[in-house]
Structure 1
């Protein structure tokens, strides 16, 4: 059957199209009797207002666009949960697409979101050029999650990646590790601060940094470990994120090395994946839901004209110790 329209609702209720529109907008100018008739007709027909059409008609959008760089990373699902909760509490809905960790695809995804004329746009872990989101911010509020910006029209929500990596290094050093390698996130968002935090902490402890280029994926973690095996593996690895760490652990076990017996591994993000009992990954926690909530709040404040100065949220990470880190074998006496 064809989708019921606002005209169908008006005909069923015996009122005008304009009055149905008033009811659906929650206008107080409609009598209780007519409001009940319209709502009853809408329910009987299975009618629900089309958000895009309603936005165009009223010139007031209640839709927030969300571009997720990588749908395969569980970290972003947890950020979206927080963003969705924050948006709904303020009366907004989300429209979500993905950029697949590709600058070109992300640019297309952003263009697609803007075609819906959203009230605002959240970009989660974007790798597209800054000029793209700067241009978009001239037309609609923009917030970046896990990406920095100095543009006054763009809000940002990040964790302190430098501090997080330093926590991981300090933890491993406290266990007795001296040979600690870092698999970085390549061109991924927030890879540079995490790498800087690692290098700075290693030098503070008088240790030599060893960085292997990677990505925020399982495959990249596994490939980086294979590169680290020669001439000799380190005693500990700080991975770019939890997915990266899982790939690293898999490659270490394939090479006949145990975790943490031979090599300790630390992830980053503290996603549900890290907390699985058979993974039990030591990792750096980012407050995912809180980051999403703050992103939604930043957009809503801009949309409602409650703030014009940029929001710069930098949240403190914390170390979560589980079963993938231990003292080096030489020190444990095994």
Structure 2
């Protein structure tokens, strides 16, 4: 007995189908999906509506093969830092605005930056956006000889690359000013060690303390950007007879570990010790944390990073640029007047 053929599969909608449904040319549809300006907002909306009704999705892989350029931006980051993850979220709309795609390369405990960069280049990334790697100026210059490099959230000297960062000295200076205004004099800082911008934050603390005549009160506890370093610093503070009245942590994660251990040790925040973080991440904004923190404009940093890449790739800019943003202090309930 002959086997009846099964029902033919549904035909995948094409760009020509979208053009017919929207009543425009196929060329115009292609132009709209490639993000090239020219079509009116009304026409663009009609084409997008037709594509949605038909279930049409552009074949990105095929588009890339047809192009001489990939328009890929490689992003090196670590999933351990809240700042990196928030930056990635803001990077997507910024890249889309300039017609670029993101290729992500994460550094992990078992995957170093060299392996991640090699993979990003293997995906034909036209430029690299690096979030605080350990590459020195010589290594960055070698990398920049093949593709434009944009360093984010780290000061890099003698490297022919673009930099997008926050003025971290000013940020920690604002935190010190805020605490001194509340009457604090015994203010200490938990250092970020070798982490990005840690040196600038420590310098900002020391300069601000000196500007208020408190140079003799400067005290830095070694640490890093983890909850564990904050907890270790708090455990040390709990053993002191003459405790500080305020602590500025290297970042919000460090501050979170500090807060938890201080409170477990019977210290009231902010009545006994005020605490300030850095980054103003989602951790700081949690209702049960409510941490005073120095805010970095992550959205603007992401926009500037993509802009720098676009200028290099689309406008042939060759001179290096440094974009330095001014941070702001977000005051919440973890800081208050110094105890009498």
Q: Same fold (TM over 0.5)?
A: yes
Residue 24 of structure 1: how far off its partner (Å): 6.2
Are the equivalent residues in 2 in contact too, given 1:239–1:267 (CA < 8 A)?
yes
Measure how far apart 1:176 and its partner are.
1.0
SS at match of 1:327: coil
Q: Which runs of 5+ in 2 are unaligned?
A: 1-11, 18-25, 37-46
Report how far residue 306 of structure 1 moved. 4.2
Asked whether the 8 Å contact 1:97–1:109 carries over to 2, the reply is: yes
| 1:261 corresponds to | 271
Give the match's secondary structure for 2:125.
Answer: coil
1:304 positional shift: 0.7
> How many residue pairs were aligned?
301
Cα deviation code 1:25-62 (max 9, x no counterpart): 8799xxxxxxx9xx99xx78x875354x7546533111
Quote the offset at 1:125 in angstroms. 2.2
Partner of 1:195: 202
Question: Structure 1 CA distance, aligned partners of 2:65 and 2:161?
Answer: 24
Contact map agreement 1:281 1:323 (CA 8 A) in 2:
yes
Pairing partner for 1:271 from 253, 277, 281: 281
Counterpart position of 2:228: 219
TM-score, structure 1 as length reference? 0.81
After TM superposition, give the deviation of residue 72 of structure 1 in Å: 2.8
Question: TM-score, with normalisation over the residues of structure 2?
Answer: 0.80
Equivalent residues in 2 for 1:1-334, closer than 5 Å = 48-51=58-61, 54-55=63-64, 58-68=67-77, 70-100=78-108, 105-151=112-158, 153-207=160-214, 208-232=217-241, 233-330=243-340
Question: Contact between 1:125 and 1:189, CA under 8 Å: does it hold in 2?
Answer: yes
Q: What's the secondary structure of 1:182's corresponding residue?
A: strand
Distance 2:57 2:301 in 1: 35
Distance 1:289 1:101 in 2: 28
Give the whole-Å Cα distance in 1 for the aligned partners of 2:138 and 2:114.
Answer: 10
For each residue in 1:76-95, what CA deviation from the matched residue of structure 2 results, as whole angstroms up to 9, or x when unmatched?
22222222111101111111
What secondary structure sits across from 1:79 in the alignment? helix
| Structure 1, gaps ≥5 residues long | 1-7, 14-19, 29-35
1:71 positional shift: 1.3
